[in-house]
Structure 1
Amino acid sequence: MQKIIPIHSVDAVAASDKIHARSIDGIFSRWRWIMVWLTQAFFYGVPWLNWSSRQAVLFDLEAKRFYLFGAVLFPQDLIYLASLLVVSALLLFFATAVVGRVWCGFACPQTVYTAIFMWVENKCEGSHQNRKRLDKTRWTAEKLLRRGGKNLAWVVFGLWTGFTFVGYFTAMRPLMADALSMTVSPWTTFWILFYGLFTYLNAGLLREKVCLHMCPYGRFQGSLMDAHTLNVAYDHRRGEPRRGTVENDRRLAKEGHHQCTSS
């Protein structure tokens, strides 16, 4: 007769459990922060650049013109954009097949913004152990200040990200003037709030759940990697609880012997 194991006795992490990541340091962590600085300097800085008395990079959907520094593209030129996207996708696939998930670990927007939001969280609430203790304590003035300050910083950063994103489609300098004079159009306001909220939810609340359940790229990465591809993965030989390799080798050999004899 098959033994039924109660679900509450299964030693597993529930999907609703909150993960508090520990702050780490090392060469790969430092490279990640270098990529954070480079990508965000590009994203937040480019809309403010001018080229021949106009914005250097502007996707003017209303006028149906895309300005890329000295080039002006029209709708009939979208074949070049499609070709660029195809080449970028092939380069991404090639990099994954050769060196593993470098895109996901260092340059993916979800990774970059999650790292920024986690840095804010660490500054406002302390280390991962402090955050765990803060979760279990009742609401006090200190907890309200720390949690409120963290979420306020997240909201401000998300809104500035949404504002910058809209600046790629609406000229940034006039948009800033409209924002300062409180005359931003309703549709522009909607997209700023939408993208700001999107950033807040993805990087602040969902985090790794986006990679697990929403990212389409993660669904076919397995077909791009083999046994020799660099990959951060669970080592089944170590087992849980952690034991020595020799001990686990004996355990696996014993389990294999039992399976052979039982079959």
Structure 2
Amino acid sequence: MDQATRSTYQSRAPPRSSDSWFPASLSSNASNHHPSGECHLLIPHPITPHNWALWTKIRILLYNHDGEEHGTLWGMGDSCITICAPNPAGPNPVTLEGGGYNMWAYVEAAMFEYMAMTSSGSVVFHNWESGFFADQETLETGRLVLCAFGNNGGVKKSGRIWPVFTKDVFNLMTGVGKDVEGLIEGDSWIFDEEAPPDDMQKPILEIMATLAEAGFFDENGRGEEAWRGDIESYAPGYLEMEEEGGGMAEGYEHGAFRED
């Protein structure tokens, strides 16, 4: 379709017979509606055992380990996690760049309720999400991506954030209504400096100790034995499997994670 054709879209389109701009038969349903969540995993598929083991450690860090609260950092249980499986004809992995995530979530899935076309032929999204993402760099360094989208689906602003800081940011986003772009630009949770390579291949307790020494974790000074108890509560059997695997629990079943 050329620009001239797009420019005449409004004059060529027939009057609407309903409030919706598309036929009711094209409404989204269970077959094309992706599960919603607050943290989206964007890594190559099929997921390798190595990446699965790294992702398991990220998930453990998305639970409370401060001794004050129990369960996931955002209080949403397992529903806070979404694994973005690429479409067979689409990019693998799903990416944030170039509007890739919103293309995957809405355009490729033909979820017309969440998008529209302007008179100039541009696709806009009226329910675009801003939130946390885990990509390959996340698995290697432990830092999530906090991302703010524009209504064209593109990335307006993004930054890296340690999982432990996402609790405060999430509360500011959802409870206070803070603008995500402003949080990325103006607050001290976002870190752009590089993390040591292969850090996440260490055993999870060593990772926690490193974060605690850097002041990013366990402000109450609970220590390793308390963390060990937390992990066993949230992910039963994980530590034993990790020890057997030399620091990597490649076969850990995520269905064993607590939902609260």
TM-score range, shorter chain: under 0.3
Q: Which has the larger radius of gyration?
A: 1
Q: Of Structure 1 and Structure 2, which has the larger fraction of its residues in strand?
A: 2
Q: Using structure 2 for the length normalisation, give the TM-score.
A: 0.24
Q: Of Structure 1 and Structure 2, which has the larger fraction of its residues in helix?
A: 1
